[in-house]
Amino acid sequence: MDREISVLSSMATRLIMADLADHIRLDHGIPVRFESAGGVEVARRVREGAEADVLVLAEGALAGLEREGHLLAGSVRPLWVSHVVAAAPEGTPVPALRSESDLRAALLTAKRVAYSTGPSGTALVDLITRLDLANMLRDRLVQAPPGVPVGSLLASGEADLAFQQHSELMDLPGVVIIGPLPGSTQISSTFGGGVLAASSQPRRACEVLGVLGSAAASKAARARGMRAARERA
């Protein structure tokens, strides 16, 4: 009897995977097991020989692992696009975010600014540098540990402004989403999937990956703050 297909994913896509588990099992007859962790942690585990069949990560991390031979050549495909949003603790004044000037003001007013270890965090640090705010904000930036939702730092009072993928901030208790970054400061990440070279069931793993690119998966992604990579913004 075929064993279940194991899927490793970043935290940003964890809820989409959970929503799709029964669909894949009931409609496609493939039992699946999803496991999520911080993207950096997942990539490390793959490099160390993690036993899994399908990998879902940010596009850049997938490309690196494919170059290193950890993914079956030609199996990598884009799945979903996620925008980075700003958020504040519930019950506190919500800053405007209509323009780059608003964003600069929000960053400079915040006492502690939280961001992630993933691609959204890297992009945010790059943006702060581009806005020429790196020196002014250096001592106010708080990076959440790998796998820890940035929103939890808002709820605990460790930060009063945070930036992360929409899917990871939405529906968190104690958190209010302000909105996406304005204009040319907007940050988005594409998440994709691929079949691990070490998979013992590559054919069924490819079937699961196909389902992740289906209309049903696109619907699940929209409900979790993302859109299908094939859809226009």
Q: Quick check: 177 and 149 in contact, CB under 8 A?
A: no
Structure tokens at 35: 């496991």
pLDDT surpassing 70 at residue 4: yes
The arithmetic mean of pLDDT across residues 19-29, rounded, is 91
The arithmetic mean of pLDDT across residues 54-71, rounded, is 95
pLDDT digits (tens, 9 = 90+) for 119-160: 889 999 999 999 999 999 999 999 998 778 899 999 899 999
pLDDT category of residue 77 using cuts at 50, 70 and 90? very high
From the centroid of its chain, how far is CA 14? 8
The arithmetic mean of pLDDT across residues 191-203, rounded, is 95
So what's the architecture of 82-185 in CATH?
3-Layer(aba) Sandwich (3.40)
- Each domain of the chain, given as residue ranges in start order, spans 5-81+190-228, 82-185
pLDDT surpassing 70 at residue 1: no
So what's the pLDDT on residue 168?
Answer: 85
pLDDT surpassing 60 at residue 35: yes
DSSP string for residues in the chain: -PPPEEEEEEGGGHHHHHHHHHHHHHHH---EEEEEE-HHHHHHHHHTT---SEEEEEHHHHHHHHHTT-B-TT--EEEEEEEEEEEEETTSPPPP-SSHHHHHHHHHH-S-EEE-SSHHHHHHHHHHHHTT-HHHHGGGEEEPPTTS-THHHHHTTS-SEEEEEHHHHTT-TTEEEEEEPPGGG--EEEEEEEEBTT-S-HHHHHHHHHHHTSHHHHHHHHHTTEEETTS--
Torsion of CA 71, 77, 82, 84, to 10 degrees: 50
Identify the weakest region by mean pLDDT among 86-90, 213-217, 227-231: 227-231
The arithmetic mean of pLDDT across residues 200-217, rounded, is 94
Phi, psi of 50 (to 5 degrees): -55, 140
So what's the pLDDT on residue 167?
Answer: 86
Question: Which has the higher per-residue pLDDT, 118 or 151?
Answer: 151
The arithmetic mean of pLDDT across residues 169-175, rounded, is 88
Q: How far apart are CA 165 and CA 189, in angstroms?
A: 8
Mean pLDDT of the chain: 92
Percent of the chain beyond pLDDT 70? 98
pLDDT surpassing 50 at residue 69: yes
- Listed residue (93, 83, 88, 112) closest to 175, CA to CA: 88
Longest dimension (CA), the chain: 60
Domains 5-81+190-228 and 82-185 share a fold: yes
Q: Using CB atoms within 10 A of its CB, is residue 11 exposed (0-12), middle (13-18) or buried (19+)?
A: buried
Q: How far apart are CA 62 and CA 71, in angstroms?
A: 8
So what's the pLDDT on residue 175?
Answer: 92
Phi, psi of 52 (to 5 degrees): -160, 170
The model carries a pTM of 0.83
Q: Using CB atoms within 10 A of its CB, is residue 24 exposed (0-12), middle (13-18) or buried (19+)?
A: buried
Matching CATH number, 5-81+190-228, of 2.30.110.10, 1.10.645.10, 3.40.190.10, 3.40.50.300 = 3.40.190.10
pLDDT category of residue 2 using cuts at 50, 70 and 90? low
So what's the pLDDT on residue 233?
Answer: 55
Torsion of CA 27, 20, 196, 83, to 10 degrees: 140
